[in-house]
Amino acid sequence: MRRLIAALPLLLALAGPAAAAVSRPEDRLPDPALEARAQEIGRELRCMVCQNQSIEDSDADLARDLRRIVRERVTAGDDPSAVMRFVHARYGDFVLLRPPFNPVTALLWAMPAIALGGGLAVIVLRRRRAVAGLDPAPLTEAERRRLADLERGGGA
């Protein structure tokens, strides 16, 4: 019993996303095949309020409205690409969890490669410095004595 009570917060946390999708049965389509198609499309669309969730995983009002639009289009007989074009035309690239590659999104797609290249460049430059001896040489005994003299206030 103690284990069940201890695991209850974890179970509730895991049940959250599942409960969000099931919480509004009136929004579901009666045909399971159409509902599955609508959910598949919804997993490709970003909730513009939550930004890191699909509209299928979000509880936001805007996500619910987008789910309704998707289900209306699927019920009207649109194929998945037509539904995606419909939503994309109204909300732009940002609504897509996987935006298309075009001049506007090129930097977005290139960022992982740029970050990796930058990291590799830093590693290579640091290793070259160490190999080339650009790191400062240790102080000689005479330099250490002079430094100690300066620290004590006996410069000149």
Residues 82 and 112 in one domain: no
> Domain total for the chain?
2
Q: Are residues 72 and 130 in the same domain?
A: no
What pLDDT does 21 receive? 46
| pLDDT for residue 23 | 39
Q: Which domain holds residue 139?
A: 106-152
Q: Is residue 101 one of the residues assigned to a domain?
A: no
With respect to residue 100, please indicate whether it lies within any of the assigned structural domains.
Answer: no
Please tell me whether residues 42 and 88 are part of one structural domain: yes
pLDDT tens readout for residues 28-37: 887 888 889 9
Q: How do residues 55-98 score in pLDDT, each as one tens digit?
A: 998 889 989 999 999 999 999 999 999 999 999 999 888 888 88
pLDDT in tens, 92-127: 888 888 877 888 778 878 889 999 999 999 999 888
Top-confidence residue, 48 or 114: 114
Q: Between 135 and 72, whose confidence is greater?
A: 72
Cα dihedral 86/91/93/97 (nearest 10): -80
Amino acid at 141: E
* pLDDT confidence of residue 83: 92
Q: Domain ends where: 75, 95, 115? A: 95
91 and 112 belong to one structural domain = no
pLDDT of residue 16: 52
Q: How far is CA 49 from the centre of its chain?
A: 14
- Looking up residue 82, the CATH number of its domain turns out to be 1.10.8.640
Looking at the structure, tell me whether residues 14 and 67 fall in a common domain. Answer: yes
How many angstroms separate the CA atoms of 102 and 96, rounded? Answer: 13
Shared domain check, 76 and 122 = no
pLDDT at position 14: 61
Q: Are both 60 and 29 inside the same structural domain? A: yes
Q: Within 13 A of 106's CA, how many CA atoms are on the CB side?
A: 3
Whether residues 39 and 77 fall in one domain: yes
46 φ, ψ (degrees, to nearest 5): -85, 140
Check whether residue 59 and residue 13 sit in a common domain. Answer: yes
Can you say whether the dihedral through the CA atoms of 27, 31, 37, 39 is positive or negative? positive
Check whether residue 51 and residue 88 sit in a common domain.
Answer: yes
